[in-house]
Amino acid sequence: MPNSAPTIAGLHSAYAAGATPAWVVAAAYARIRAVDDPGIFLHLAPEAEIQAAAAKLPAFDPTLYPLWGVPCAVKDNIDVAGMPTTAACPAFAYTPARSAFAVEKLIAAGALVIGKTNLDQFATGLVGVRTPHPVPRNAFDAARVPGGSSSGSAIAVAQGIVAFALGTDTAGSGRVPAGLNDLVGLKPSVGAISARGMVPACRTLDCISVFARTVDDAFAAYAVMRGFDAADDYSRPVPAEAALPRRIGVPDAASLMFFGDHAMQAAYGAAIALLRDQADEIIEIDLTPFLAVAKLLYDGPWVAERHAAMRAFLATNANDVHPVTRAIVGNAGKFSATDAFEGLYELAALRRATEPTWSRVDALAVPTAPIFPTLAELAADPIGPNSRLGTYTNFVNLLDLAALAVPGPFRPDGLPAGVTFIGPRGSDAALARLGAAFEMPAAKRRGATRPAAA
């Protein structure tokens, strides 16, 4: 299990007390060697290169440079200048001359990008194993899936290598790995962070996400990257401040599904018990229309948007694509343009059906993941567990909502679980306030249930 947890605040306190970026960089690379997981990074910058970048940092000023001297990692479908972008497909590789817009902002704020992380190829999956490279090991149980598609980014943070890492999120890729590795996963409102310089999965839904150990760290990175980018057709401004949500919706009995995973069910129950002490009201919500939206993402014509993102590459390199990914994207051929419009009509009707929920509650609190599959279970059924993992994540971007996954009480078997707060578009700051309020008592509960060997 992870035994090191650098945070932005902790690093800045160390710097204020006289620590040097050279020492922090050396510690990060020492941690990489100690963890010894070849599945985390697809490209790791030589330590000397990052030491040289650290030596060029301006004078320490955490107000002017809020990420000064903070090592971070970037999912390998987001461009970092001079580092190959592969989307976990070696035949797709290119080396960009310019970083993604969001990465440029991180570097300008003083962050040190040490490498590019593994993923479900072309960001298609929630399990983290659809890669031609070694699969990153779950930080708590190597026999379990790491979660995806942002598997390497989550494990880099969970193992204490970096303070935060960028993932992406189209259907839950920035939240599921957080829930399965005891992390915060911030999925912003669509367009709040520019996606320029990111390999698209579904351009209308894609978000750059943040993994961190704390809500404050995740929001600090988000705040640096947030902002309108006229060069990104899907960039949109969002509010910077918001009130603390007080009315919290939870799934009613008919909407709460754990597919027989009683340990996940127990952990979620413990999380809601903590939340009852903080919320003004806990209101049961019928999530039927939300769950119907979730089914549209892969069972409806939106799979064609994934095909649109990959069409040129598939035309020449279909055999270089992971077989499960190829099969999923291949389903696009089942849908016509007429189907696409009918899907849009169905989504509009379902969105209208969900709207009354937001007059009753300020935020939803759902399980981040309803199950925690083993690698063996996934080998036996590559599709089923992945689909179930997306039960409470797939609908969020289609409905233009914001979400924040936070750790909750551990499962009875000592494995992590989490709860995800979901709110209307633009509620990013409000969810961060709610998550920060929740994580303090949740951390105490987690510590009490953590196995003695941790």
Residues carrying an active site annotation? 75, 149, 173
Residues 108, 150: contact at Cβ < 8 Å? Answer: no
Q: Which amino acid is at 58?
A: P
> DSSP label at 45?
-
List, in sequence order, every beta strand (DSSP E) within 39-182: 41-44, 71-75, 112-117, 164-169
Token pair listed for 364: 């939803």
Sheet holding 71-75, edge to edge: 41-44, 112-117, 71-75, 164-169, 207-212, 184-187, 401-407, 418-424, 363-367, 247-251, 281-285
Question: Does residue 416 sit in helix, strand or coil?
Answer: coil
Nearest to 181 by CA among 199, 195, 167, 193: 167
Q: Are 267 and 382 in contact (CB under 8 A)?
A: no
Q: Please state whether beta strands 418-424 and 401-407 pair in parallel, antiparallel, or not at all (unpaired).
A: antiparallel
Which DSSP helix (H) or strand (E) runs through 295?
Answer: helix 288-299
CA pair distance 221, 216, nearest whole angstrom: 9
Length of the chain: 454
